[in-house]
Each structure stands twice: as C-alpha cells, then as structure tokens.
Structure 1
Amino acid sequence: MKQFLILISFLFVYYSTAGIEQAPPNFKVRDKQAVFVDFRRAQYNITFDVQNHRALVETKILFEQKQKGYPLFDLVNRPLSVTIHDKEVEVSLIKTPGDASKLRMIEKELPKGIHQVIIHSEIENGTRFSTNDRKPDWGNVSSGFFIRDLRDRMFLEKYLPTNYEYDQYRMEIDVKVTGTKRWHSLFTNGEKTKVSENHYRVRYPDFYTASSLYFHLVPINRFVRYYLTYPSIDGRDIPVTIYSNYRFYNYLAKKKAWKVMRELEADYGAYPHDQLIIYGTGLRGGMEHAGATETSIVSLGHELFHFYFAKGVHPANGNSGWLDEALASWRDKGYQTVDLPFYDSANLAAHNLYTRKTDKRSYEYGRSFMGYLDKQLKEIGKPGLKDFLRVFFAKRKLTTVTTEDFKSDLEEYAQMSFQADFFQYIYGGHMPPESGHKHVDHDHGGEENPHHPARTEAEMLSIL
C-alpha cells in the first residue's frame, strides 16, 4: 500500500521541471555504480529545540532513479540515519571524478523506478541558540540558510539534504521552535502558513533548486521591518519585505529597489517571482536567492538583477555559473560595448563536469565578453545583447540552463555562429564539457568581486 501511495504522489508531481538530463554522468565508486537521481518532492520537518540547543531534521525525499545503482544526494553534515523503504542503510561520503566535489552515496543498490528515502540529520551550520539564565523558558534561536556560489558545497546542502543544482523540485518545510516561550519570525521565499507563533509551514515553487531557497528564522523582536507592495508592470502587487537593524537602511533600500525594479521590468519583462525580500546585513556585498537577498545597499542592484538571471533563469551547474555573474557585472558597468575582450583566452566554463562553484573571473572576464557580444550583434543590425537577453529570459524563464543553451539561443537570435568566440574566450581553447571530451581542471582563480566577497564563518554568524 505504501509503495502505491508513493507512486500516486510521484504521478501528481510529475509535471515538475526536473532537469535530470542536465545531471553529470554517473560514475563508479569501489566497483559500485553511483547514480544521480531526479528529486520530485522533499518534505523537511525541522525542530529547533532551544532548551537542548539542537536543530533536528526529518527529511522525506521522493525521487526517480533512471537506472539501477546506488543513489546520490548531498548533505555536508553526516546524517544521523538514512532509511530506504523502511530499512535503515549506510551512507558514504564520496569524491566525484577528478576530486571536483564530494557528496553522499546511499550504500544500497536500487532498481530503476520511484523510491522514497527518509533522512534524519542535525543542522549545525548557520544556527545560534541563546539562553536566558534568569528566565530559562525565554531562550531563542536564530538560523539562516545563507549560501555562497564561489566555494564548493555552500548551497542548501550546507543545511539540509538536497541534490546538485541541475535538479528543480518541490520543497516543503514544517518548522517548529520548542523549549521556549519566546516567539519567532520566519523570513522565507515560499508560501508561508503560520500555524502558531513558533510553528510555520512553507511550500516553495516547483522550479526551485539547491540555490533558490531563502530561510531566516529569528526572535520576533529582531530587526526593523518594512512590509510593502511593489506595483509590477503586469498588474500584480508584489509583496515586499525589507528588514535590517536600521530604519534608515530600509528607507534607502526601498528607494533603490523601486528604481532598479522599474529598470529591470522595462528591460526584461515582469518580475518573475511572487515576492521580494531584502535583508540589510550591514556587511559589504550580498547574495541572491529566488526573490530574496541578503545584501548591502551598494550591491542591491547587482542582486536584484540576479532575480532575473541566476534565480529567474538558473545555472544548471558550476560551468554555467559564469553566465549570470558576467551579465550582472555587464549591467553594473553600464552595459559597455567593446571591440574585443581584454584577454586573449580563458576557461570559464570547461571545468570538471562535477564542479559546483562559479569561476571567480566570471565578473571581469565575463563582463568583457558580454560587451564583445553586444558589439557583434550591433554590427549585424541587431539592437544589441540586451534585446537578446529579453528574448532569452522569456524563453528560458524558471528553467535551468547551460552555457551551450545560452550559445545556441544566441546563435538562433543572430542567425550566425559564435562557436569560435566561445571556444576561445569561454572554454579556453577547449571543447565544452558536455561534448564528451576530457574536462579541463582549473583553480578557478581571480580577484575577489566586491558584490560577492569571501566571508568568514564569523561574518556569516554575525548576520543571523
């Protein structure tokens, strides 16, 4: 009966925009066939136990496996237990070919088909408990699932079990805060239902990936908050939440956000998300989620652009991450047109097939390349790259894309080949990794970008 219900649930969510075709190749580990899978739904039941200072998670994942083998997922912290079809199984931490990354392999061979895994784990990253010695029942917790894209394994896997970034799937969270009388607020980019002051249920859009979800749980008296609506060009009133430690920051953020939103909607079309969340951290730089950002005022425009390119059109892998940073940086510098890129050749998108992080040179090198593409389009009588981006966004909105998807759409728009340009300036004189040719290893060097600077763990904890 349980297997039948799982199958029915699978059929119900079959329409979800999965992207298993963009997964890296399966590979062998100790003569075992490790296989990437297609998540269909993940239910995360999270309990923040304030008295015992523990954040425990029960995760139920429904997934489809395309071939016989040992299924893969990822979670940075070691799982407490993993159960497949009512039987507890072992899980190994393995390296991908070429040591590009690590992930978890379930040590049970499964046939092709639909399966459910239950994972018990503990959240240790991005969480801080506080105790009130005079009032033991009035402790609190702050927890933020903040991500970074320039380092490996810094997406949702840092906090919850998830998949590689190619996978789009439905996520639901049930979060409870226990062991305290202190009420808590939840800032998150999903459809939120408040069950009680310390109990929330959230359903997220089916197109979300491991880099989409925004989750920030705080004591109810933390932060100055603005609750507003933005009038989109398509007639919607977009709910907007701006919060920080200072009312003046909120005022400046609102003023700048409205200006940038009008610009972006005019250039690329209606805002693609159901809400807008801006968290003013007090740190320099920022990071985008889907319709939510933790950011400085200086980086706010950069992050809002990413709501279109990065979290409106999602990179499918680390070799595609250069695209959105290149485009955002091109906008940051006023959409400049250049005759030629300033560099002779660079590998921004032909790294190991299993890499998850974005090449740090994507900002400066990618920006120059976009200016070069703009020049070429204008030379053949097209309005320019911005006009193509509007077409590209309309076609690819809410999907995951690769570098080759971008190139093929650009060639269709221009009716000319850009093969030689991508070969030289983006693939570093190598074939694209999807071609089946040997991948190219690289240290992803490059200078730090002010919009996405490296942050210490202490800095990440400071914004909780």
Structure 2
Amino acid sequence: MKLLFFLICTSLSVFADTDLTHAPPSFSADGKKAVFVDFKRAEYKITYDAENGYAKSVSTIEFYMPEAGYPIFDSVTKPTQITLNKKLTSEKLISTPDKASVVRRIETPLERGLHTMMIWTPLENGTRFNLRRKKWGHVSSGFFIRDLTDRKFLEQYVPSNYEYDTYQMEFDVKVIGTKRWHSFFANGEITKINENHYRVTMPQWYRSSSVYLHLVPINRFVRWYLDYPSIDGRKIPVTIYSNYNFYNRYVKTKAWATLKELEADYGPYPHDQLIIYGTGLRGGMEHAGATETSIISLGHELQHMYFAKNIHPVNGNSGWLDEAIASWRDKGHQTYQKPFYESVNLANHGAYTRKTDKRSYEYGRSFMAYLDHLLKESGKPGLKDFLRHYFQKRQRTGVTTEDFKSDLEDYANMSFGEDFHQYIYGGKEENSHLKHNHQKSFENPHHPQLTDEEFESLI
C-alpha cells in the first residue's frame, strides 16, 4: 500500500511540471474557482467542406488539473458542444479579475488529476471559401497570429491555452466536397494522406503562439524549396512562397544573409525548418520556424526565430523582451548611456495579460542599448555576447522578465534591480500613469495593425 501511494504521488508530481509555475493564479468568478490547467496533448481534427462553405474542428485535449475547481481553456469561437471525461457539459465566458482578458470556464467541477475534454467548434476565423464551380470549390485557411492584441494566438482558430503552456499538438486537416487539390504549409512534421488530407505533428515544446498552418489551392503561389547550409553542418529545409519568382529571389538573398549574421552572433539556426511566406504587405509576424512577412521586415522576423519563438515569453509581461532585442538589432545594436525616457511600465501589467505592450519596440530598444553600455563599462564584451550565453542556456524554454534579469546579473556579476525597477517596471511613473494605456501611438512598422482587408488577403 505504501508503494502504491508513493507511485501515485510521484506520477502526479511528474504531471505538475514547470509549465504551471508560470500560470496566472486561480480566481473566483460567480462563486466558482476558475483554475488554469496544464494541457498535455491536443488532437485537432479540422474539416473544410468546400461544397457547402463550412469548416469545423473537433478538439480532444488531455490536461492536468493542479487543484480542485473549474478548468479554464480559451476559444474565441463559442463551442457548440463540450464533453468532459465523456460526459456532456457546458462552458461560460468569464473575465479575468483585472479585466485584462476573458477565458472560457468549464461548468463542471473537477478534482486534481488528469482529465480529457472534447470540444466542437466552427472554424470561422482565418478561412475563405471559393464556391463558384460545383465540385471544384476551394478553400484558403491560415492560422496567423498577432501578439499586440488580446486573444490573437491559436485560440482564434481552435481551443487552446495561455502562452505559459507547452503541449503536444497534432492536427488532422481534411478538405471534402471538392475535386480541387490543396497544398498545406505547416511548421511541424507533415504526413500527406492524399491531395486533400494532411496530418501534422508539432514539437512538444510548442505553445499557443508557435503554430503555423496555411492551407491553399494547389495552384496558388510560386514555391521555392531550398536548403540552407547551417554552421553546424545541417541542411535546413527552407520553403519560400509568394506570388512572384522575383519576390522569392529577394527573400532568399536577404534570408541567407540574415541567417549567416544571426548564426555568427547566437549560434546555429534553432529550428528544424524555415517557412517564409512573402506577403507583399507591410510588416510581418513570426511563428516557430515560420513567418509571414514583407522583405523589409524579414530580418526582424528571423531574429525572432531565436528570441520569441525559441526562447518564448510566457505571458504579456515578458513579451517586451523579444521585441526589444529585435528592435535593438534593427537599429544597428546601438549603445546609449541612458534610455531616452525617465520611466515606463513594460512588464508590470496584470498577471492575466496576454498581449505585448506596443511601447516595447522603441522603449525596449533604448533599454537594450543602455544595457549594452553598462556591460561594456563593466568590462564585458557587451549585450550581444550576453544574449548568446542567454540563448544557449534558455533555448526551447519559456522565460519571464525576472529570468532575463537574473541571467543578466549572473553574467555581469552586478545588480540591475534599480534599472529594471525604473525603466521596465515603471517604478518612477505615477500610479495613475501606470494604469493609463499609451498603446495607440506606438505602432511599429514591423508589426503594424493590419486592416481586416489586409489580414484577409494573407489567407
């Protein structure tokens, strides 16, 4: 009996891994304790009906419940049906205590342990049908994310979790009701069942901001399939696709030059593949080993393959880090004796914040230039050298602002507490100023706010 008790306790401790250390705290809403959970595995079965212009997903999610209460997940689209441990249940959309976001709470209480939910949802976002010819209709669907707006990660499309969580994801993607073949781009391991049926397995360390999926008619886009020679001897498979051959040529030239620079600075390219969708629009967005981007923003997005989509922020309060690092590179790795500002709050928002502060580019870049000055003044080679060490230590993990600060202090053997307090946590801003939203005036050209029409054109 003692052995059985030991095995049960050991198994529960294994399931309660480090993902939950970064989860926001549980909270009460309507007298019910809402609990953030740890997704273990999710299987998404997605069907596109090209004849009737309808898409749906069935999601089977195994998760660990760390304490008794009501489990939390998120889906922007309202589910049509949910089962929990094979029993029908319901969900409710609730606000987080700080009103920073909303989540969905399952309305069945659970005890600590492993559970399984199945969720049926229409796939409404990021999908467009062309039904002009019967039996020859086609579909375009893109799982593209944005990190400056709330609820714009995977939860836009299928049920998911906050960004703190890593879990095994498998997608089964099928197009029915048409004779038209389709192509599928994805940043995982793809198995082609037939011309309209694909399965993809994502790496275990992926999060809700990692996934890249793009389903298109087979005759759309000019595609280049290449290999990039990494400094570690690997030949990295690279897919470049856009509307034009000349655009692909520009993308390839810039990508090769940027990858050579980044590998020299931080080490071998840290993903198994690279997908570049040349959009022709302004700005871009990074995923893990994939990006949809303009040529101008390509260097910025490739920098994110190291900082953002390999070393991952675990919440909105750590999202400023990767934008600050990439923006510092964008401006040529400048060095400042002081930031240009007195104090700003980039990393002291509510615990439930998911989106990145838009001021992270300009203010964060200035702070990185200041750190470079402090490190060089102390006799260290500078911030770029620290970032190389930081990357080697933290790759494929989630980080907070405090993790970054702690590693920086270990590297420099000096304290940066006052600097972060003033320049990152807003320690010298007035309280009312801390709460005030200054987001609208700080749009960055690499991550602009696209119109609905522009976003639709990506699909």
Q: Normalising to structure 1: TM-score of the pair? A: 0.94
In 1: Cα distance, 2:261 partner to 2:295 partner: 17
| Preserved CA contact (<8 Å) 1:16 1:168 | no
**Which position in structure 2 is the counterpart of 1:196?**
194
Q: Where in structure 2 are there 5+ consecutive unaligned residues?
A: 1-6
Kept in 1, the 8 Å contact 2:65–2:114? The answer is yes
Distance in 2 separating the partners of 1:273 and 1:102: 32
**Quick check: 2:16–2:66 contact (8 Å CA) kept in 1?**
no
Q: Report how far residue 251 of structure 1 moved.
A: 0.3
The answer to whether the Cα contact below 8 Å between 1:351 and 1:442 also exists between their aligned partners in 2 is no
Which of 295, 301, 304 is matched with 1:303 structurally? Answer: 301
Contact 2:84 2:118 in 1 (8 A): yes
- The answer to whether structure 1 residue 406 and structure 2 residue 404 are counterparts is yes
After superposition, the C-alpha distances for 1:14-40 in whole angstroms (9 at most, x for unaligned) are 689751110011100111110000001
**C-alpha deviation, 1:51, in angstroms:** 1.0
* Structure 1 runs, 4 residues or longer, greater than 3 Å off: 14-18, 439-442
- Which residue pairs with 1:210 in the alignment? 208
SS in 1 for 2:418: helix
Secondary structure of 2:160's aligned partner: coil
CA distance in 2, matches of 1:264, 1:245: 27
The partner residue of 2:332 within 331, 334, 356 is 334
Give how far 1:457 is off: 1.7
How far the C-alpha of 1:444 sits from its partner, in A, is: 4.8
The 3-state SS of whatever aligns with 1:98 is: coil
Q: How has the CA–CA distance of structure 1 residues 420 and 166 changed in structure 2, closer, same or farther, with 3 Å as cutoff?
A: same
How far does the alpha carbon of each residue in 1:45-101 deviate from its partner, in whole angstroms, 9 at most, with x for none?
A: 000011111111110001001100000000001001110011111100000012100
User: Does the aligned pair in 2 maintain the 1:47–1:57 contact within 8 Å?
Assistant: yes
- Distance (Å, rounded) in 1 between the aligned partners of 2:67 and 2:17: 20
Structure 1 stretches of 5 or more lacking a match?
1-6, 432-438
Give the AA of the match of 2:263: E
Match of 1:233 among 231, 235, 247: 231
Question: The residue matched to 2:164 in structure 1 has which SS?
Answer: coil
Deviations 1:351-386 (A, max 9, x none): 111111111110000000000000000011100000
Q: Verify the 8 A CA contact 1:156 1:211 in the aligned structure 2.
A: yes
Alpha-carbon distance between aligned partners in 2 of 1:430 and 1:115, rounded to the nearest angstrom: 46
The match for 2:143 among 145, 151, 160 is: 145
1:82-93 mapped onto 2 (5 Å cutoff): 82-93=82-93
Instruction: Give the AA of the match of 1:463.
Output: L
Aligned to 2:448: 453
- Cα separation, 1, equivalents of 2:377 and 2:114: 52
The aligned counterpart of 1:3 is: none
The aligned counterpart of 1:443 is: 437
Q: Is the 8 A contact 1:17 1:169 kept in 2?
A: no
Post-superposition offset of 1:456: 1.6
Deviations 1:185-230 (A, max 9, x none): 0011000000100000100001111100000000000000000000
Match of 1:37 in 2: 37
Q: SS at 2:207's partner residue? A: coil
- The AA in structure 1 aligned to 2:455 is M
For residue 320 of structure 2, give the secondary structure of its aligned residue in structure 1. helix
Indicate the residue corresponding to 1:132 in structure 2: 132
The one of 231, 234, 249 aligned to 1:251:
249
Q: Counterpart amino acid of 2:157? A: Y
The count of corresponding residues between Structure 1 and Structure 2 is 449
Shift of 1:443: 1.8
Q: Which secondary structure does the structure 2 equivalent of 1:43 belong to?
A: strand
Task: Name the SS for the 2:246 alignment partner.
Answer: helix
Aligned partner of residue 19 in structure 1, secondary structure = helix
Distance 1:430 1:85 in 2: 50
After superposition, the Cα gap between the structure-2 partners of 1:440 and 1:193, relative to the gap in structure 1 and judged at 3 Å, is same
2:445 is aligned with 1:463? no
Q: Distance in 2 between matches of 1:338 and 1:413?
A: 20
Change (3 A) 1:442 1:205: farther
Pairing 1:114–2:114 present: yes
Letter of the structure 2 residue corresponding to residue 414 of structure 1:
A
Cα distance in structure 1, aligned partners of 2:285 and 2:17 = 24
Q: 1:35 to 1:112 in 2, by over 3 A?
A: same
User: For residues 154-233 of structure 1, what are the structure 2 equivalents within 5 Å?
Assistant: 154-233=152-231
SS state of the match for residue 78, structure 1? coil
Contact 1:18 1:169 in 2 (8 A): no
Code of the aligned partner of 1:441: K
- Please list the CA deviations of residues 408-462 of structure 1 after superposition, one character each: whole Å capped at 9, or x if unmatched: 000010111000000000000079xxxxxxx953425242100000012211111
Contact 1:350/1:430 (8 A) holds in 2? no
AA paired with 1:335?
Answer: H
The amino acid across from 1:453 in the alignment is: P
User: How do 1:288-367 residues align onto structure 2 when only pairs under 5 Å count?
Assistant: 288-367=286-365
Distance 1:340 1:56 in 2: 52
Secondary structure of the structure 2 residue equivalent to 1:271: coil
- Pairwise CA RMSD: 2.0
Amino acid at match of 1:186: F
Are the aligned partners of 1:352 and 1:440 in contact in 2 as well (CA < 8 Å)?
no
Q: State the partner residue of 2:62.
A: 62
Report the counterpart of residue 47 of structure 2 in structure 1: 47
Aligned partners of 2:317 and 2:347 also within 8 Å: yes
Query: Residue 370 of structure 1: SS of its match in structure 2?
Result: helix
Change in CA separation of 1:341 and 1:210 when aligned onto 2, cut-off 3 Å? same
